């Protein structure tokens, strides 16, 4: 029997990407798509790329109504809104993959500091697996709730985790420079993502205060077994999709470029969606896929890593389906290759 799946907040960019992936998943039936804004409109009227592929309507459903139709729920709701409904879904027996940041951080105080809201479900923080299969596959398999990672953090963590785990780099004074396409800002109109504002322009934003910084430091700290500090600077690039992340870290000892690449290759040798490459990767290499490409160079006294992924797939919806496959015992690559 196919798993009955609901998607909350089905009007955004990550949601339409998720729908497209799930429509080719042989073990899934989409039974509910929710939205508070679009009334009872066909989802294909909001996402024209779905015309002829799905006939479902958007509905404003209560958590109880969603739970009556679905075994698994993908929540594409914004932070805070997601944690308002997830406890009831879990109580009703649903398993949930949450796209928001609501369950990524371990501390209610850190969450409130960076997101500006008191957490609606603080007792669960620190008990929810972080949905990066390359690091937390075992925990994800048995979870009832998985915190899907942020797109920037995925590109950073995958590049640095093997080097920290092996003790090849210092855990402090790590510089992270990331560039993202405009879809990373979501579908809600904003002045900074208005076409005349962002086209033919490149800009940094939220320097020193981007909400993904504590997420990056927390997960890398778990890998390193101690405090990790990064200076994270995100940039907006006038393209639809993709993330390119460059990190600069200090080696703990003299190390060769081949040794760094060998460390990455060894760590990811059995991972289906991480490719360690010799060349400098570009966002077009991973566009529309669930792959992350990573390489490394030695420059003066620094180890430089370059990673890229599609922010809507490996950075969001593809990762969510990868987690779903683990949770239900399907081959991890199902619908993603």
- Residues in CB range of 107: below 8 A, 6 or more apart: 125, 126
Tokens 């060894």 correspond to what residue?
266
Q: How far is CA 316 from the centre of its chain?
A: 4
Count Cβ atoms within 10 A of the Cβ of residue 199 and give its class: 0-12 exposed, 13-18 middle, 19 or more buried: exposed
* Angular region, 113: left φ>0, alpha ψ -120 to 50, beta rest: alpha
Residues present in the chain in total: 337
Please give the full DSSP string across 204-233, using - where no structure is assigned.
E-STTT-THHHHHHHHHHHHHTS---EEEE
**Within 13 Å of residue 153, how many CA atoms lie on the same side as its CB?**
25
Q: Facing residues of 3 across strands?
A: 28
Q: What is the DSSP letter of 57?
A: B
Which among 165, 127, 162, 118 is positioned nearest to 147, based on CA atoms?
127
Greatest CA separation for the chain:
62
**How far is residue 299's CA from residue 1's CA, in Å, rounded to a whole number?**
54
- For this structure, is 151 an active site residue? yes
| Beta bridge partner(s), residue 309 | 243, 292
Active-site pick, 72, 94, 151, 292: 151
Rounded CA gap, 58 and 56, in Å?
7
d(C-alpha 134, C-alpha 137), whole Å: 6
Active site residues: 151
């Amino acid at each position: 029997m196919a798993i009955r799946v609901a998607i909350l907040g089905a009007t955004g960019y990550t949601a339409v990407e998720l729908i497209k992936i799930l429509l080719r998943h042989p073990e899934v039936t989409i039974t509910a798509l929710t939205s508070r804004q679009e009334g009872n409109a066909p989802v294909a009227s909001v996402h024209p790329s779905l015309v002829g592929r799905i006939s479902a309507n958007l509905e404003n459903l209560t958590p109880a109504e969603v739970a009556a139709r679905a075994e698994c729920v993908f929540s594409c709701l914004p932070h805070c809104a997601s944690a308002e409904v997830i406890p009831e879904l879990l109580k009703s027996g649903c398993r949930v993959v949450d796209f928001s940041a609501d369950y990524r951080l371990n501390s209610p105080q850190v969450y409130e500091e960076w997101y500006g809201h008191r957490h609606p479900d603080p007792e669960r923080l620190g008990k929810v697996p972080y949905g990066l299969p390359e690091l937390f596959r075992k925990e994800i398999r048995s979870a009832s709730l998985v915190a899907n990672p942020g797109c920037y953090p995925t590109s950073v963590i995958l590049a640095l985790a093997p080097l920290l785990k092996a003790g090849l780099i210092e855990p402090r004074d790590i510089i992270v420079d990331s560039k993202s396409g405009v879809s990373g800002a979501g579908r809600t109109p904003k002045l900074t993502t208005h076409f005349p504002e962002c086209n033919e322009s490149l800009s940094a934003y939220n320097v020193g205060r981007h909400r993904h910084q504590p997420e990056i430091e927390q997960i890398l700290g778990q890998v390193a077994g101690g405090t990790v500090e990064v200076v994270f600077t995100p940039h907006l690039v006038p393209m639809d999709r993709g993330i390119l992340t460059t990190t600069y870290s200090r080696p703990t000892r003299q190390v060769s470029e081949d040794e760094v690449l060998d460390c990455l290759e060894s760590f990811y040798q059995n991972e289906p969606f991480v490719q360690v490459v010799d060349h400098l990767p570009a966002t077009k290499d991973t566009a529309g896929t669930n792959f992350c490409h990573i390489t490394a160079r030695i420059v003066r006294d620094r180890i430089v890593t370059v990673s890229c992924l599609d922010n809507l797939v490996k950075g969001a919806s593809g990762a969510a389906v990868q987690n779903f496959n683990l949770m239900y015992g399907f081959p991890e690559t199902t619908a993603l290759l």
